[in-house]
Amino acid sequence: MSLTQNAIRLMHSMSGTSNEPSFCPTLQVLHLKKIGRIHDGRDRWTVVLSDGNNFIEAMLSTRLNHKVSSVEIARFALIKVNKFAVDTGPSGKKFPIILQCDSVLNPGSRLGNPEDIFKAQINPSKTKRDDFDTLIPPYDAGAKMDELERTTKRLKSTVDDHHTSLSAEIQKLEDEEKRIRDKLQNLEEKKQHYANEYGIPNVKYDDEIEINAGGKIIAARRCTLCQLKGTRLEALFCGRWEQKLQRDSNGRIFLDINSDLFQVIVDWLNLLSISPEDDPPQPPSVDEEHKYTLNHLKALFTGRRHSSFPGSPAKILPVVDRFGDDVNKAINERWTSLQELEAGATFLDNNFEDEEQFITSFATGCTSDIITLNVSGTIMATKRATLQVVDESMLAQQFDDTKWTEQGCDNVRVKEWTPDDVANWVKVIDDVPDDIATLFTDNEIKGSE
């Protein structure tokens, strides 16, 4: 069935409450839109009707809502309008109201290339109902609707691309966060591994620890020695390396350091433990003669080799600016947070590596390598390696491994040596005159002397 030609122009030229009984045009529905509800809850619908040449927007009577629900009135459906009225608005715009209609069929596509009747630039009052041949060329509404479909597709494609790009950026953030968290997890597992291998179970921070510091016994609570978190001093006494630490013959932790200056540091730590956080004690100090050694000792225990955190060089952050301002800001802030977390993870990893090297190089060793000396009545203890720092010195020769064996004392403590043991020891020392060795023998000098 064909559309009623020029029906839209004729409807546009009418006014009043009803059409002529003989005029029942067949029109095509191009568009259907619900615009709201009336007071009793029924839906209100508008339709765009076409005769193949022109189209006009019309209102459906609510009595026809059932035809919308049954899809008799739907896009591209052909309907026969049996009764309608034409309303004229304040601006003079004509607006048909479809009161009765019958469904004909639905071809599934638009018929013709209709144009908007209001843009056709006609003057209905001067145009005969049956004379439309002299009108201006029609407005190509079909082309405009095709363009609308194309722009709709472009919009959908753009939105899809936006979502894809945003999802990819978020995935980058998730991957980076997982990498850093894995790095931190690996560090914790490494710490736990060493704690299981070298540490002691159920470390109590109230335990009192006895330390042989260069021959002087110094006692302090573990919590006092571990106050400076992240330092080598804390690592030394936290219990993680307990079974790896060098110990003297009485089982005390041995440190080959200046005992008096270590006592100064422990005294300061005791004072720190009882001071309020907002009023810490002044750093430990000594006379000018010992200041350099004390500073060296403080750097040894409290310094960090990787102390530049958080200002360590970091990789350049990606700057995201292809989304909306709020999204860009949120993404860039998360990148910044990840960079700070990465710097912290790297710092902790490097710090633990330094901790392990410090423990291995400074605090480990065999009990047999600890040498106790009576220096003019003062008992001192040190590592044999310390006495051998200067290869050609008298001390180095005295405590050389080969000469230590040649003494033939079978690991007897020095203070238990017999006069013969002492004499044999003196004889093998280079540059010691024989008459000096004879004096040791004649005077029966024992190891205890």
pLDDT at 315 over 80: no
pLDDT at 306: 45
pLDDT at 388: 77
Whether residue 349 contacts residue 306, with contact meaning beta carbons closer than 8 Å, is answered with: no
Q: Which two tokens stand for residue 314?
A: 């970091």
280 in the same domain as 343: yes
pLDDT at 67: 94
Please state, as a whole number, how many other Cβ atoms lie within 10 Å of the Cβ of residue 137.
Answer: 7
Whether residue 244 contacts residue 194, with contact meaning beta carbons closer than 8 Å, is answered with: no
Going by their DSSP bridges, the two strands 78-88 and 115-116 should be labelled as unpaired
pLDDT at 135: 39
Query: Where do the H-state alpha helices sit in 286-418?
Result: 288-302, 325-362, 384-387, 394-398, 401-406
Number of domains in the chain: 3
pLDDT at 175: 94
pLDDT at 145: 75
Instruction: Name the band, by pLDDT with cuts 50, 70 and 90, for residue 409.
Output: very low
What is the mean predicted confidence (pLDDT) over 159-171?
91
393 in the same domain as 350: no
What is the mean predicted confidence (pLDDT) over 104-132?
71
pLDDT digits 0-9 by tens, 169-215: 899 999 999 999 999 999 999 999 998 999 888 888 889 999 999 99
Going by their DSSP bridges, the two strands 115-116 and 54-60 should be labelled as parallel
- Where among 102, 121, 139 does a domain terminate? 139
Query: Of the ranges 28-42, 297-311, 404-418, which one carries the lowest mean pLDDT score?
Result: 404-418
CATH value at residue 216: 3.30.710.10
pLDDT at 133: 43
CATH value at residue 34: 2.40.50.140
Instruction: Name the band, by pLDDT with cuts 50, 70 and 90, for residue 422.
Output: confident
Mean pLDDT of the chain: 83
pLDDT at 447: 62
- Asked whether residue 422 is assigned to any structural domain, the reply reads yes
% pLDDT > 90, the chain: 41
pLDDT at 19 over 80: no
132 in the same domain as 70: yes
353 in the same domain as 416: no
Residue with tokens 């200046």: 258
On the CB side of 246, CA atoms within 13 Å amount to 24
126 in the same domain as 44: yes
Query: Of the ranges 108-117, 196-205, 260-269, 340-349, which one carries the lowest mean pLDDT score?
Result: 196-205
Instruction: Name the band, by pLDDT with cuts 50, 70 and 90, for residue 136.
Output: very low
- Amino acid symbol at 104: V
pLDDT at 77: 94
Instruction: Name the band, by pLDDT with cuts 50, 70 and 90, for residue 404.
Output: low
130 in the same domain as 74: yes
- Asked whether residue 197 is assigned to any structural domain, the reply reads no
d(CA 291, CA 429): 36
- Where among 92, 117, 139 does a domain terminate? 139
pLDDT digits 0-9 by tens, 44-102: 999 999 999 999 999 999 999 999 999 999 999 999 999 998 888 777 788 899 999 99
- Asked whether residue 357 is assigned to any structural domain, the reply reads yes
Element (H, E) at 378: strand 378-383
- Asked whether residue 196 is assigned to any structural domain, the reply reads no
Instruction: Name the band, by pLDDT with cuts 50, 70 and 90, for residue 17.
Output: low
pLDDT at 264: 93
- Where among 139, 165, 195 does a domain terminate? 139
Domain that holds residue 435: 388-442
pLDDT at 449: 58
422 in the same domain as 277: no
99 in the same domain as 30: yes
Query: Where do the H-state alpha helices sit in 199-324?
Result: 222-225, 232-237, 259-273, 288-302
pLDDT at 2: 87
116 in the same domain as 23: yes
Choose between 355 and 390: higher pLDDT.
355
- Asked whether residue 169 is assigned to any structural domain, the reply reads no
79 in the same domain as 223: no
116 in the same domain as 15: yes
Instruction: Name the band, by pLDDT with cuts 50, 70 and 90, for residue 403.
Output: low
pLDDT at 405: 46
Question: Alpha carbon of 181 to those of 174, 186, 190, 317, 355: distances in Å?
Answer: 10, 9, 14, 18, 21
What is the mean predicted confidence (pLDDT) over 414-436?
68
Query: Of the ranges 265-279, 287-301, 314-328, 406-420, which one carries the lowest mean pLDDT score?
Result: 406-420
Query: Of the ranges 54-63, 281-290, 399-408, which one carries the lowest mean pLDDT score?
Result: 399-408
- Asked whether residue 148 is assigned to any structural domain, the reply reads no
d(CA 63, CA 40): 13
pLDDT digits 0-9 by tens, 339-382: 999 999 998 898 889 888 888 888 888 888 888 888 888 888 88
- Asked whether residue 18 is assigned to any structural domain, the reply reads yes
What is the mean predicted confidence (pLDDT) over 237-248?
91
- Amino acid symbol at 26: T
- Asked whether residue 279 is assigned to any structural domain, the reply reads yes
Q: How far is CA 393 from the centre of its chain?
A: 57
pLDDT at 15 over 50: yes
275 in the same domain as 344: yes
pLDDT at 117 over 60: yes
